Amino acid sequence: MPPAAVPVPPDLLRSASATTSPSTTVAQFNLRHVLQRVVQVALADTLIAALASAMNASSFGSNLIYAQCVGLAILLFVEFGRRMMAVGTSGWPAGWRGIMLVAVSCVLGYVVGISLADTIFGHSNWPYYLSRPRRLLLDFGPVAVFSIIIAGWFYVRGQAREHRAQVAAASHAATLARLNLLQSQLEPHMLFNTLANLRALISADPPRAQQMLDHLIAFLRATLNASRQAEHPLGEEFARIDDYLALMKVRMGDRLRAGTALPPELAAIPVPPLLLQPLVENAIKHGLEPQRGPGDLQVSATLDGTTLILAVADSGRGLEAAAAARAREPVEAAEPGSGFGVAQVRERLHTLHGDAARFTLTPRAQGGTLAEIRLPLATPPLSRDPRTR
Amino acid sequence: MTTALIAEDEPLLAQALRAELARAWPELTLLEHAVDGDDAVDRALEHRPDVVFLDIRMPGRSGLEAAEAIVEEWPADAGPLPLIVFVTAYDQYALQAFERAAVDYLQKPVQPARLAACCARLKDMIALRETARDAAMPVVAADDSALLGRLRSLLAAAPAATEAPLTLLQAGIGATLHMIPVDEVVYFEAADKYVRVVTATREALIRMSLRELLPRLSAERFWQIHRGTVVRADAIATATRDESGKVFLTLRERPERLVASRLHAHLFRAM
């Protein structure tokens, strides 16, 4: 009589699948994933019912009912347990709590499933099982084994899915960072104004137009390369700033008085490409350009022990005025680059050096703003060894 | 004689626009160009050109702020307001606002064909004004009010600050900090980098520009009536319009009279 119930083991498979569900990283309720597991468990139950029928020549219909009842009951307990318990990024309670959840769900699911199927058939297997505990263990054993196998399989699958999601997220973040860098450096307002100047120069002063074009080419090439290189020599960094300043001098005429100072012995130190560029751009865009009359800009590199100090000093309208203006000027509001530059410099420094590098933005006593980057050097510059990163 | 003023801080671009305009519209007389927003306002009010080309991003006042000041300070006897064309290199936000307000604008580098079309439109509008001048004023008035409407919608399109509305002002008078509930303020008046706060019984200065303050006031309770004045609506007693289109306001709790500029005079209409 009792054997009909035996096929049950397959159900455990589904409980296993339910437990492994690491598909969602935040383990929120995902109806699609739950339904997937229900279908998978039901299929496994059916297969096991068929196997059991073949092995002991019992009725497939009755085996199927018992298998589905036990399997889905186990799945139900596992799903419920996962909702109630704190789950990690895998969507599964960590360590022994996960294993306990499967084990407890197996036992409870088995009891509930058998009882449910018994109710359907109008008889009870329990007196038979209780009189023969060995028989109970023999029936439950395969259920547990199948459950663990399926749980393991789902767990591995979930891990892989989670891993894929992480890789995709990381690559998305990297692409976004590159794009942001490019966008902040290829600021359209700057580009179109420069082209407008170039267009004016072509007929008015062809040799100067050619010079300006050369600076623009060097600047564009550096900008495009910057998103691909990890670092370049400080001398190269200053050369690109000279290009940018030359372009801005054509545009602003006498209003921009700019200079750069790089001691030759520091020229070989490797730095992240175009690290200073956004600071120079900010000094002009938010400090000097909005201010009536001429202004000064000085970019310098100095060495303090084993710390490289890169400074951008301007005599513009100052931080307070710039911040106030940003709040109200519609023209600047929609633009990438305003305020973004500073955040980007901070972020890059933090990624490369953690807390060892410092970036400060301070008002100058004589008016204007001083932006300063302090980079730790692993080795003195004369040794020519690249800085550790 | 038609005259035009160019306001552009980049010398090469000012020269280039001048040269392009000379080709596209040889009869146009060009004034010496203005080098920034403030200069543009001064020159426009002094020379009263028919057309003003305003760069959007300039030192000092922006092109938009300069346009606002020119329109507000345009003398009543100076004839119709100048036609304003904005020039910009790349300002996605501004371009959308211009499109919505149907304001004429040019993009840098200025393309000759685009400039020619712009000049043709300006010539038509000026010709219309001249034929109307002898016959009747209404056309000119309609023309002006259309321009005021466009400028108003441009200024209103500025993105609103997300800061919380102010309820209490803290103004230092000498060594004492005065707490002034915003609801008690009769009017605010711009004073350089400060705002003068006037209540029924006292006055104080706060360190904030009117433009920073404005988004933090309830637009229903506090009306901007001039680019330098914001008044509490229920503190206004009467509004009287003069021939130039300005509106003079008397207040319930203060003896002084305030002026609403033509740009904001539309707020005062009988129900």
The verdict on a CB contact (< 8 Å) between A331 and B90 is: no
Chain B: closest CA distance from residue A254 (Å): 9
Q: Confidence band (pLDDT; 50, 70, 90) for B34?
A: very high
What is the rounded distance in angstroms from the CA atom of residue A294 to the CA atom of residue A273? 29
As a whole-number percent, the residues of chain B with pLDDT over 70 amount to: 93
- Note whether A246 and A154 are same-domain residues: no
Q: Using an 8 Å Cβ cutoff, are A339 and A187 in contact? A: no
Which pLDDT score, from 0 to 100, does residue B129 have?
Answer: 82
The interface residues of chain B toward chain A in range 174-213, judged by CB-CB distance below 8 A, are: 209, 211-212
Interval A85-142: pLDDT, tens: 766 656 677 778 888 888 888 889 988 998 998 888 888 888 888 888 888 888 888 8
Residue A61 at interface with chain B, using a CB cutoff of 8 Å? no
Burial of B187 (C-beta count, 10 Å sphere; 0-12/13-18/19+): buried
Q: Confidence band (pLDDT; 50, 70, 90) for A25?
A: very low
The verdict on a CB contact (< 8 Å) between A334 and B13 is: no
The verdict on a CB contact (< 8 Å) between A334 and B92 is: yes
Mutant choice from B58, B103, B108, B195 vs A, greatest count of A C-beta within 10 A: B108
Of B90, B93, B212, the CB nearest to A327: B212
Q: Using an 8 Å Cβ cutoff, are B51 and B29 in contact? A: no
Chain A: closest CA distance from residue B246 (Å): 27
Which pLDDT score, from 0 to 100, does residue A385 have?
Answer: 45
- Note whether A143 and A221 are same-domain residues: no
**Domain boundary at A122, A150, A172, which?**
A172
The verdict on a CB contact (< 8 Å) between B89 and A193 is: yes
The verdict on a CB contact (< 8 Å) between B92 and A201 is: no
Instruction: Indicate whether this complex's ipTM tops 0.85.
Output: no
The interface residues of chain B toward chain A in range 94-113, judged by CB-CB distance below 8 A, are: 94, 97, 107-110
Burial of A30 (C-beta count, 10 Å sphere; 0-12/13-18/19+): middle
The verdict on a CB contact (< 8 Å) between A292 and B60 is: yes
Determine the average pLDDT of the residues in B241-258. 89
Chain A: closest CA distance from residue B80 (Å): 28
Mutant choice from A292, A315, A332, A335 vs B, greatest count of B C-beta within 10 A: A292
Which pLDDT score, from 0 to 100, does residue A326 have?
Answer: 61
A178 in a structural domain: no
Contacts of A250 in chain B (CB under 8 A): 12
- Note whether A212 and A114 are same-domain residues: no
- Note whether A211 and A349 are same-domain residues: yes
Interval A182-216: pLDDT, tens: 766 677 888 898 999 999 999 889 999 999 999 99
Q: Confidence band (pLDDT; 50, 70, 90) for B198?
A: very high
What is the rounded distance in angstroms from the CA atom of residue A294 to the CA atom of residue B178? 40
* Torsions phi, psi for A331 (to 5 deg): -65, -35
Residue B11 at interface with chain A, using a CB cutoff of 8 Å? yes
Instruction: Look over chain A and give the mean of its residue pLDDT values, rounded to a whole number.
Output: 80
Strand A295-304 and strand A270-271: pairing?
A: unpaired
Which pLDDT score, from 0 to 100, does residue B102 have?
Answer: 67
- Note whether A45 and A156 are same-domain residues: yes
- Note whether A134 and A240 are same-domain residues: no
Residue B9 at interface with chain A, using a CB cutoff of 8 Å? yes
Interval B151-197: pLDDT, tens: 887 777 665 556 678 889 988 888 888 899 999 999 999 987 889 99
| For chain B, domain boundaries | 3-156, 168-267
Higher pLDDT, A85 or A25: A85
- Note whether A248 and A160 are same-domain residues: no
Residue A253 at interface with chain B, using a CB cutoff of 8 Å? yes
A388 in a structural domain: no
Per the structure, the complete domain to which residue A132 belongs is given by 2-172
The verdict on a CB contact (< 8 Å) between A330 and B209 is: no
The verdict on a CB contact (< 8 Å) between A331 and B157 is: no
Q: Using an 8 Å Cβ cutoff, are B151 and B263 in contact? A: yes
Contacts of A295 in chain B (CB under 8 A): none
Which pLDDT score, from 0 to 100, does residue A23 have?
Answer: 40
Q: Using an 8 Å Cβ cutoff, are B180 and B168 in contact? A: yes
- Note whether A119 and A258 are same-domain residues: no
Q: Is the pLDDT of residue B105 over 80?
A: yes
How is domain B168-267 classified at the CATH fold level? OB fold (Dihydrolipoamide Acetyltransferase, E2P) (2.40.50)
Interval A276-332: pLDDT, tens: 988 998 899 888 988 888 999 999 999 998 899 999 999 988 887 777 666 554 434
Q: Is the pLDDT of residue A58 over 90?
A: no
Higher pLDDT, B252 or A145: B252
**pTM value > 0.80:** no
As a whole-number percent, the residues of chain A with pLDDT over 90 amount to: 24
| Selection from A171-175, A255-259, B176-180 with the highest mean pLDDT | A255-259
Which pLDDT score, from 0 to 100, does residue B235 have?
Answer: 93
Domain B3-156, CATH 3.40.50.2300 — does that match? yes
Which pLDDT score, from 0 to 100, does residue B160 have?
Answer: 55
Q: Confidence band (pLDDT; 50, 70, 90) for A384?
A: very low
Which pLDDT score, from 0 to 100, does residue A345 have?
Answer: 83
Residue A201 at interface with chain B, using a CB cutoff of 8 Å? yes
**Domain boundary at A172, A204, A227, which?**
A172
Which pLDDT score, from 0 to 100, does residue A13 have?
Answer: 36
- Note whether A168 and A192 are same-domain residues: no
* Torsions phi, psi for A318 (to 5 deg): 90, 165
Q: Confidence band (pLDDT; 50, 70, 90) for B199?
A: very high
Interval A152-172: pLDDT, tens: 777 777 778 788 888 888 788
Instruction: Look over chain B and give the mean of its residue pLDDT values, rounded to a whole number.
Output: 87
The verdict on a CB contact (< 8 Å) between B157 and A253 is: no
What total number of domains does chain A contain?
2
Residue A323 at interface with chain B, using a CB cutoff of 8 Å? no
A125 in a structural domain: yes
Determine the average pLDDT of the residues in B198-221. 88
Determine the average pLDDT of the residues in A62-72. 88
A166 in a structural domain: yes
* DSSP code of residue A288: I
- Note whether A64 and A120 are same-domain residues: yes
DSSP string, A105-117: HHHHHHHHHHHHH
A269 in a structural domain: yes
The verdict on a CB contact (< 8 Å) between A328 and B110 is: no
Q: Confidence band (pLDDT; 50, 70, 90) for A371?
A: very high
Structure tokens at A119: 């109710």
| Selection from A261-265, A365-369, B189-193 with the highest mean pLDDT | A261-265
Which pLDDT score, from 0 to 100, does residue B37 have?
Answer: 92
- Note whether A41 and A156 are same-domain residues: yes
Least confident range from A157-166, A293-302, A356-365, B123-132: namely: A157-166
Q: Is the pLDDT of residue A333 over 50?
A: no
Which pLDDT score, from 0 to 100, does residue B161 have?
Answer: 54
- Note whether A113 and A236 are same-domain residues: no
A347 in a structural domain: yes
